[in-house]
Chains A and B, each alone.
Chain A
């Protein structure tokens, strides 16, 4: 068993309305100095040892991320 973290982020050039909403809200709440916010998703998967990197990549690009507008990264972490 291993823990796998998949981070999914809107592509750099793509508009991120949610991140923008957060960025706009911060100064209103008195938090200054934050120039940009981008918001993504984090998935934590518990996987058998039989699941290799290729399978994880497949999972990420078919279900977890919409590769037309999102980038993803997969990493194994100590569980």
Chain B
């Protein structure tokens, strides 16, 4: 250690050696970005400063390509939409008021690239990271859900990646004791080599307990607590460590550092309880989680959000590895760490709580009255920067945008000419083929590895359309959550596709009987340096924001993940949309399975049109992607939501299932299988049975209505102008789905086809 002491790249040393070459390009900084850092500092950055700026100005942390587009969310949000919002974009997670004094916070983040490199740990730490985001708001994390996307189900690499990711999601979440209440599993060739692991967490707190992290109050202490800081998860900084100018003698000998972190859910579980007690006892000014960019990010963000400066002594950071350089300590992404701002008089109490939970806690610095973030190491200053330039005033790019040259050809290639099944035998075969296809088959193989009911408040989880949680055990008030995105629709028309993703998530929440309240998103796209990708991104953001205005829902937060591509081929544009709804009493939630009461009527709400562009049928049967996605009518979705909420509140409905990929056939099969009950279906006379069964027209829901309520419910639909069609009855005596003049298929045969696919591929 003595040799490193005088060789550290201090501020003084940097000022004296302006011409030293620095590996900024290897760290991902562009020439003009490096020049701007020199301009801000009035000298060259030190190694540690360079490490800080390079991670904080990365696409992942700075949103430099997306910022100009994301502004559109703020511009379009009205005060009326903000009515229930307590905290929004810019905080760790959005917070909404759900009534009865409860505030709910939720957010989704991507952990795509780490999960490809090391599926288990990548996915596990993705869950851990989003849980800490929720925790930082002062909320108790209550549940997680994970929208996942993979390459073709039968591709060899999917066999490597999928089981690891699923085990990682399950392993971490199960150890934390958090139920996994939903999510998605989608397969498409474009995700081969770039799977998507998006992790969502939802938490709740009393409204008065909301905490926003900022470092205010000169003299307040900065406390780092949780796990020790090690060399794991250091990405670009390994470049610094391997460059010869770095003072660390062992650097040259050190192996190339892995960029994947290993998580420890048991440490996180203790950290959760410790943080909640700290919040409860009112001894913290604010808490910030350490995620990507580690201590660099936490210190810069805390200082930037506060009104003063900050001084940190890096020698005080508890380390796990020997000989770490200041740059490495600052950039380490060691998991399960948090940073708190505490008034000096509360430090002892803070330490007592941490000792009780066996959590290591160390005062590493304090809030100062200057405007600089100053970091010392071995008695010398290695960082001296204006924190806002690191955290909030990074580069902003107006990337070139161009509609892809082949977009017109894609749209012109409609599915109209594809051969359609027409005989009853062909239709029967198509039903069985579709329900067994990877995107439509049972997700049981995946979701059964997750604990869905721990904590005892899960009301609905997979295989239902939405996850429903009880929040208030006295009143029964609860929330419903769904995430959705059809990347194929988005490829055909990213503007409409994003609206369709919103519409589907909205509808999924509505079918549970809940009233949608707020929106979050995780926007997964290819390279922002590709003008065609930026066009998709811009269109999707506009579609989602415009859609939220139409529905009157605020976007409370989100995450952008760029560079999701293999070689020059980008993934399907995948703006995953999460919708949170509130239900005043979870006892009236609607399941998707039919059969609660005998002789119920099956109604199809909404209209079915001949819409097969981007459909699952075109994909499964013909390997075709082209044409226009289904039309989207958000006013209709809103009406549908209101009718479902009224129907559920007044006991007029006993089950409801959203129609999406796979159309009516898929919904019927799932409703029968989820409810383990047969049904007799008569398609409207004159309608094309193929279109009725497989079209993916939006704005449709299948509902089961008790006989006694049928007239009341259909009258309500008619009065409100919602089209409905009676399509059959629930038939508990028949162990079959009988579609008149098409096919009668036994539930056993349906279940075998539907549930056999994933086990055959991954067991």
Contact = CB atoms under 8 A, between A and B. Distances in A.
Given A20-B264, A69-B262, A15 B232 contact: yes
Interface string A44-77: 0000000000000000000000101100000000
A66 B118 CA distance: 9
A17 B258 contact: no
- Interface size band for B: 20 to 34
Contact of A15 (B117, B264, B266): B264
B328 to A, nearest CB: 10
A13 interface: yes
B121 A17 contact: no
Contacts of B255: 11
Contact of A17 (B118, B262, B321): B262
A14 interface: yes
A13 B257 contact: yes
Contacts of B263: 15
A14 B262 contact: yes
Interface residues of A, number: 13
B230 A15 contact: yes
Contacts, number: 41
A34 to B, nearest CB: 16
B267 A17 contact: yes
A69 B335 CA distance: 15
Contacts of A17: 262, 264, 266-267
A12 B262 CA distance: 12
Contact of B121 (A12, A21, A69): A69
A20 B227 CA distance: 11
Contacts of A16: 262
A11 B257 CA distance: 10
Contact of A69 (B118, B264, B266, B320): B118
Contact of B321 (A13, A21, A69): A13
Given A68-B260, A69-B121, A69-B260, A13 B231 contact: yes
By secondary structure, the B interface counts as loop
Contacts of B320: 15
Interface string B298-319: 0000000000000000000000
A12 B320 CA distance: 10
Interface of A is mostly: loop
Nearest to B261: A15
Q: Which of A14, A16, A69 has the most CB of B within 10 A?
A: A14
Interface string A3-21: 0000000111111110011
A69 B266 CA distance: 19
Interface string B223-234: 000010011100
B334 interface: yes
Nearest to B264: A17
A70 to B, nearest CB: 10
B260 A15 contact: no
A65 to B, nearest CB: 13
Interface in B168-201: none
Contacts of B334: 15
Contacts of B118: 66, 68-69
Interface string B257-284: 1101111101100000000000000000
B691 to A, nearest CB: 49
A25 to B, nearest CB: 12
B258 A11 contact: yes
A20 B321 CA distance: 13
A68 B256 CA distance: 11
Interface of B: 117-118, 121, 227, 230-232, 255, 257-258, 260-264, 266-267, 320-321, 334-335
Given A11-B255, A68-B118, 16 more contacts: A13-B230, A13-B231, A13-B232, A13-B257, A13-B258, A13-B321, A14-B230, A14-B262, A15-B263, A15-B264, A15-B320, A17-B262, A66-B118, A68-B258, A68-B260, A69-B258
10 contacts: A10-B262, A13-B257, A13-B258, A14-B230, A15-B262, A15-B334, A21-B266, A66-B118, A68-B260, A69-B258
